Amino acid sequence: MIRDYRKDPLKIVALCKTFRGEEFVEAMIESIYNEVEAIVFVNSNISWVGERGNTVKQVVESWCLKNDVAGKIFQIDFDSINQIDQYEFGFNCIKRDFKSDYVLLVDTDEIWDEGDINKCKIFIEKSEVEAYTINMRTYIKSPFYRLKNIEPCQPTVFVKSTCPQIIGVRGNGVHPRVNIPNIFMHHFSYVRKSEEEIIHKIKATTKSDGLQTIDIDKWKKEKWDLLPNPTVKNLHTSKGFEHYWESVEEITREELPKVFIKRNFPGLNIVQKEEIKRQEDLKVLNLEIWEKNRDSFQKEGFNKRILENTYCFIWDLYHIFEHCRKLNDNSSIVDLGSNMGAVIFCMNEAAKVTNKKFNIFSIEPFWQTPPEKEQTFKENTKDIKFTLFRDFSNNVHKNIPNNSVDLIFIDGSHDYERVCEDICNYWPKLKLGGIMLGHDFDMGYIMYGERNPVNDGTVQAVFDKLRSKEVVKLERSAIFKVIKTKEEL
């Protein structure tokens, strides 16, 4: 009998087996907490390869003391070197002690987007078969490195509570199984606090799944150490399945699960560590380029101060500086997506070296912005006269008169729809002869000279909305340029 979902909603109890992988378990809990009846942890003090020392249990206990106001978390100790036995033990406990329609199988490094479990409930109530699968977005080495392809593996996530037993690894032997479309779980599969932990997971997982591991030393040297180079292919570590992980692409912070933004999880520390490393690498590269071009930069007034307190690429800043330097006195400039204020500082330096004054308008909502980044914005702009619109760009454009701006620099959201919206909303603001510059235009990751797929939305939006214009990609940079020669797009 199919239930009326509005009157009799499905009851879901989550089941999580643990040994290691504590980096993301708090984020996992918070990503599902409000959409399940309970979360049952089956904690083994023995790993699948015989190691001892559970690292997850204590983290969950600490989280519960501060956050488990609804009393949804239950922990059970059950030592096992077999993940199927762990699942079976927990599944039987749930069937015995909880009233549930389905059991959600979830690992400590799997994070759901808000509302997706409830979407699954609506899908399930229309059919109610024995088990359901979903797709995964898989992350490797860094939270910023995600598989470009949707991997073929579709893990079982929901098993009917009346099912006699969990059959196979993660219920892959339970039938019939149906895939729930358009739902993606974030799997931080090979993202851990150390490479040693990654190697541990590889060995434990392949043994438990009954697979053979490739030559790990060779894999590390030829693939892992070269990431995020998008030319590195076939990354999976199980023999015969290498092609399942074709290649990685870099993503932005905004593309991470939203639960990361809410609290400072240990997993977010990994995110921040990776951000710092990338920023430091870029600073070193910027200084090397500046020294090589010192004479020409200094002649034009492009000084080293512009590179302080910024993580922008030097050639991007140089082109912004040069275009602002050539503007007339009292020109009006819009910096859309000011972030830490580096571009405002650069624009103001261009005004100073040419003894001009600019009317600079900054658009930055500071939405989900870490306090330290907002503080950097204040430091970069403390001695500069400008107007700050602390709001989203789709609201601010109404406050700027048409045909009033000499130069617009677009560096807001990078997804296709938002870039299209910014181009359409701010094109009328430009004077005839005004310049529109925009960032993240098919920039290859600097270290490798390859296309960065993260920016595909920006590139497509520029070509779709400015297709009748002469779009120029500025040399050695990620910036596009268009001059307004007529009113309409």
Question: pLDDT tens across 128-166, in order?
Answer: 899 999 999 999 988 888 998 888 889 999 999 999 999
> Could you tell me the fold of the domain covering 293-483?
Rossmann fold (3.40.50)
**pLDDT-based confidence at 268, cuts 50/70/90?**
low
As a whole number, mean pLDDT of residues 466-487 equals 90
Question: pLDDT tens across 81-130, in order?
Answer: 888 899 999 999 999 999 999 999 999 999 999 999 999 999 999 888 99
Bigger pLDDT: 313 vs 371: 313
Return phi, psi of residue 443, to 5°.
-80, 125
3-state secondary structure (DSSP) of residue 481: strand
Question: pLDDT tens across 404-461, in order?
Answer: 999 999 999 888 889 999 999 999 999 999 999 999 886 443 333 444 555 667 888 8
The count of other CB atoms within 10 Å of the CB of residue 181 is 8
Q: Which two tokens stand for residue 57?
A: 């249990």
Q: Which two tokens stand for residue 71?
A: 């009393």
Question: Which helix (H) or strand (E) covers residue 1, if one does?
Answer: none
DSSP state of 243: G
- The pLDDT mean for the chain works out to 88
DSSP H helix total and E strand total for the chain: 15, 19
CB 140 within 8 A of CB 147: yes
Greatest Cα pair distance, the chain, in angstroms, is 80
What is the signed CA dihedral for 126, 132, 135, 139, rounded to 10 degrees? Answer: 130
**pLDDT-based confidence at 271, cuts 50/70/90?**
low
CB 106 within 8 A of CB 32: yes
Q: What is the pLDDT of residue 236?
A: 92
Asked if omega into 228 is within 30° of 0 (cis), the reply is: yes
**pLDDT-based confidence at 368, cuts 50/70/90?**
low
Question: Which helix (H) or strand (E) covers residue 326, if one does?
Answer: none
CB 87 within 8 A of CB 166: yes
Q: How far apart are CA 138 and CA 5, in angstroms?
A: 31
Q: What is the pLDDT of residue 343?
A: 97
The verdict on pTM exceeding 0.75 is: no
Q: How far apart are CA 480 and CA 435, in angstroms?
A: 10
Domain layout of the chain by residue ranges: 12-262, 293-483
- The highest-confidence range among 4-13, 143-152, 322-331, 361-370, by mean pLDDT, is 322-331
Quick check: 201 pLDDT over 50? yes
What is the C-alpha end-to-end distance of the chain, expressed in Å? Answer: 56
Q: Residue 430: beta bridge partners?
A: 405
Question: pLDDT tens across 214-261, in order?
Answer: 899 999 999 998 888 888 999 999 999 999 999 998 887 778 888 876
Q: What is the pLDDT of residue 269?
A: 65
Quick check: 370 pLDDT over 80? no
> Could you tell me the fold of the domain covering 12-262?
Spore Coat Polysaccharide Biosynthesis Protein SpsA; Chain A (3.90.550)
Quick check: 265 pLDDT over 60? no
Side-chain half-sphere exposure of 160, counting CA atoms within 13 A? 15
Question: pLDDT tens across 1-27, in order?
Answer: 343 434 457 999 999 999 988 989 999
